Structure formats: structure tokens, C-alpha cells
Amino acid sequence: MKNKVPQPAPVAGDMDWFVQARFGMFIHWGTYAAAARHEWVKHNEEIPDGEYEKYFRHFNPDLFCPQDWARMARDAGMKYMVITSKHHEGFCLWDTQYTDYKATNTPCGRDLLREVADAFRAEGLRVGFYYSLIDWHHPDFTIDPIHPMRNHPNAARLNEGRDMNRYREYMRNQVRELLTNFGDIDIIWFDFSYPTAEHKGLKGKGREDWHSEALLALARELQPGIIVDNRLDLPPEMADIHTPEQFQPHGWVTVDGKPVYWETCQTFSGSWGYHRDEATWKSPEQLIQMLVNTVSCGGNLLMNVGPTARGTFDDRAVRSLHAYAEWMRLHARSIYGCTQSAFEAPQDCRYTQNGNRLYLHVFAWPFRHLHLSGLAGKIEYAQLLNDASEIKVIEAPEDKPLPEWMKPGSVTLELPVIKPRVTVPVTRSLTKMSVL
């Protein structure tokens, strides 16, 4: 045994289901899907409101069928979903009382958020809402370093007519709606703060601009047990989960040296919102390795899909989900309820562990032998996970010299020469004692 498995300090949110689940779906959907070139298109191209409005006027996802989305998420092995109720562009997917800039006023005329939430619950997934603190449409949201109008010659003067008090009130009202009118909400994902940003004399936004403490208190009051992320710019211990984005942590995530509950969010390709021409789609192997890596470091993976403006998952997203579905059908036991192991995995392998069940994910299939250190005399039985076929466990002989092909201090698994026909093979060992 090498390390101790980290144990995060208790938090206010209900973490039990979350660490069991390990795998969720992120959904970024708004009128930017029509532009189809990143959810930050309004910022990137500095598009004025009047012009950006065309995506709202033409937003008509005629093929929208949230039951299909939910079924694909469930088949992929995902246990929860977090959807953008409102992203930075300010467009709201639900029938909010507080703005006209909402799905029910587009040609589709539907409360998309409610339909998505209902459909995912019907498939047994938990439901979370992402809510953008940033709003590039609201007339009271002041122009700041990332606002589409940041380079407007009169930005500072235009800000004089904007009143963040009114915007804060708007946010509170909306958060109240989201956490009151949609049943049990398991996660609220506020996004994001940038207090130190500066551009041409404009200042970034943080806790004082959002009144973060009050927003957090409101969320906890309306939905006790709700899990809240760490992007409100509050002291880290007030957040339930920490959210490394677009990179793979290589160990348990810590903040100020202390282990925390964490969830990494990732994309199938480089954009969150639907991006027609973005081409860096990850391979099935990368996708599965990302999930395994995450759980082997004690975290959750929130994998994003950006639906098209017709309301569909495009073919590349469907193929990616299918890669997860195929693998999870046989290997989900090495993901759900698993966490980091105290043992150190051999080269090109990752361990996950659930009680005395130790799962070894083999990223590069070796020739015949895998040597496991620290486990001599501790393995009761080993098998491949995909077909439950036995893997022989070879202990070092006590009375004879060690054969040349063994490694001192290790126990050896005898593998088939041919790699099992799955993307990432997993062996499961039953250890004789609970090692957590």
C-alpha cells in the first residue's frame, strides 16, 4: 500500500449520491447554437444586441426531443445532468417571469428547460441547473472586461445608466424561480467570477457584484442539500465542489493543500456550445481514459454536449456518447461508487477501488504479465471485467528463486496475449481485506 486515500472535509451539499454517480452530462444550449461557432460568439465577435437578436428570432429547434437526449445520457452511463438555464448571452431556456428574452418567445414557443428536466428525471437521472452570473443581454449588467461592448468608445459613459442593484434583483428572482418551480434540483452551477480582470479601465466582477453570499444562502434555503460549485468568488470552504475545466487533474484536487470534492468538466470537442467547424473531437479511447483518470483521482466527470439549433445531438456527439455506452455496459462497476486507490498502479494503468474490489484499467496492453506491487498475498481472485473470465494470479514462490519474468515484491497477473476487444480493458481483483 502506498498512499492514504484523501478524505475531503464535510460540506453543506449532499455528496453521497454525487460520489456514487461519478459521471454526468453537461448541456450547453442557447441561441448561440444557431451561430454554431462557440457560446462566446457574442464576445468573440463583439456583436451588438440588435444584430445578435437574429439568433433569437430564428431559434426554432423543430427536432427537439429531450427524451432522446435523456436516453442517450442514460445509455452512456451518466447519472446526472447539468444544463445551462441561462448562459452568458442572457437567453433563458425557461418561461421566466422576469424577461422576454426566453425560449417561450422564440418561434419554438416551448419551455425547453422544463421539458429537459422532466425527461432526464424520467430516465432516472438527477437534475442540475447551470446559471450564468454574467449576462450580456441584461440592460443593467455593466460593461466589463469580457462584455461584448468592452471596446465601445463610450463604454464608461454607457455604464452610468446601468444599475447592478437591479441586475442583482433579477438574478435573485430567477434563481428563486429555478429552485422553486422545477421540483428537486440537485446541483446549481453558478458561472463565473473574474474579480481581477481589467480592460481599458473596466473592472471584472466578483462576490460584491453578485452578492454571492446572499445568492448561496438563497440556494441552500430553497433546496437543502443542493450541491453548489466554486465559481461565486467565495472562500473555497463555502463551495461543495471544485470544478477544474478543460484539463485533466493528475491527482486528487486540493485547495490550500486540503483535498476537496471535485468534478472536472470537459468537452467532446473544444467548444461548449455547438460548433459546426471545430474539429478537435476526442477519440473513444481518450474519452474513456478521461473518465477513468478522473475517478482514479477521486473525482467526477461532467462531459458536455452542445445540441444543435434544431434540437439534436449531432452525429459526432452521438458517436462519442455511444463509445461511452458500449464501454460502460461492461465496465460501469469500475466507475460507480469507486474512488482513488491507496495502491500505486503499474505503468500505463489506473486503479479505481470500491471497498475490497480493486479495478485495474490497462491503457497499454502489455505482453502476458502485469506486476502489481504491494499486493503480494492479498489477492483472492482476479478476472477481466468485460467477460468475467479468470485471470491467473501468480505469487512469488517461497521455496525457489524468483523466475526471471517476475518482479521482486510483486504479484503477477497472467494476461491473455490478445487484448480483449474493448477500448480500455479492466481487470477486477478481489482483495482479501478492505484497503480503503
Residues in touch with ligand GLC (CB under 6 A) = 28, 39-40, 191-192, 245, 265, 272
CB nearer ligand GLC, residue 40 or residue 69: 40
CA distance 196 to 209: 13
CB nearer ligand GLC, residue 111 or residue 191: 191
CB nearer ligand GLC, residue 142 or residue 304: 304
Cell of 329: 455496459
Provide the minimum distance between the beta carbon of 304 and ligand GLC in the complex, in angstroms, as a whole number: 7
Provide the minimum distance between the beta carbon of 342 and ligand GLC in the complex, in angstroms, as a whole number: 31
Give the dihedral sign, CA 340/343/346/347: positive
CB nearer ligand GLC, residue 245 or residue 326: 245
CB nearer ligand GLC, residue 40 or residue 359: 40
Provide the minimum distance between the beta carbon of 39 and ligand GLC in the complex, in angstroms, as a whole number: 5
Provide the minimum distance between the beta carbon of 206 and ligand GLC in the complex, in angstroms, as a whole number: 14
Per the CB < 8 A criterion, the answer to whether 72 and 318 are in contact is yes
Nearest to 423 by CA among 325, 333, 345, 281: 325
The three-class DSSP label of residue 115 is helix
CA distance 393 to 390: 9
* Buried/exposed code over 184-203 (b: 16+ C-beta within 10 A; e: otherwise): ebbbbbbbbbbeeeeeeebe
CB nearer ligand GLC, residue 308 or residue 431: 308
Per the CB < 8 A criterion, the answer to whether 330 and 420 are in contact is no
Provide the minimum distance between the beta carbon of 198 and ligand GLC in the complex, in angstroms, as a whole number: 18
Residue type, 206: G
Provide the minimum distance between the beta carbon of 245 and ligand GLC in the complex, in angstroms, as a whole number: 5
CA distance 405 to 412: 9
CA distance 227 to 229: 7
Q: Kind and range of the H or E element at 327? A: helix 315-331
CA distance 84 to 91: 10
CB nearer ligand GLC, residue 49 or residue 245: 245
CB nearer ligand GLC, residue 247 or residue 367: 247
Phi, psi of 387 (to 5 degrees): -135, 10
Provide the minimum distance between the beta carbon of 414 and ligand GLC in the complex, in angstroms, as a whole number: 44
**Which residues are 339's β-sheet partners?**
353
Per the CB < 8 A criterion, the answer to whether 210 and 233 are in contact is yes
The per-residue DSSP string of 17-84 comes to HHHHH-EEEEE--STHHHHTB-TTHHHHTT--HHHHHHHHHT---TT--HHHHHHHHHHTT--EEEEE
Provide the minimum distance between the beta carbon of 115 and ligand GLC in the complex, in angstroms, as a whole number: 21
CB nearer ligand GLC, residue 39 or residue 144: 39
Provide the minimum distance between the beta carbon of 229 and ligand GLC in the complex, in angstroms, as a whole number: 9
Cell of 135: 449576462
Helices (H) and strands (E) counted in the chain, each on its own, are 12, 18
Cell of 160: 452610468
Using omega within 30 degrees of 0 as the cis cutoff, is the peptide bond preceding 192 cis?
Answer: yes
Give the strand order in the sheet containing 357-362: 349-354, 357-362, 426-431, 379-384
CB nearer ligand GLC, residue 77 or residue 306: 306
Provide the minimum distance between the beta carbon of 273 and ligand GLC in the complex, in angstroms, as a whole number: 7
CB nearer ligand GLC, residue 22 or residue 28: 28
Provide the minimum distance between the beta carbon of 49 and ligand GLC in the complex, in angstroms, as a whole number: 19
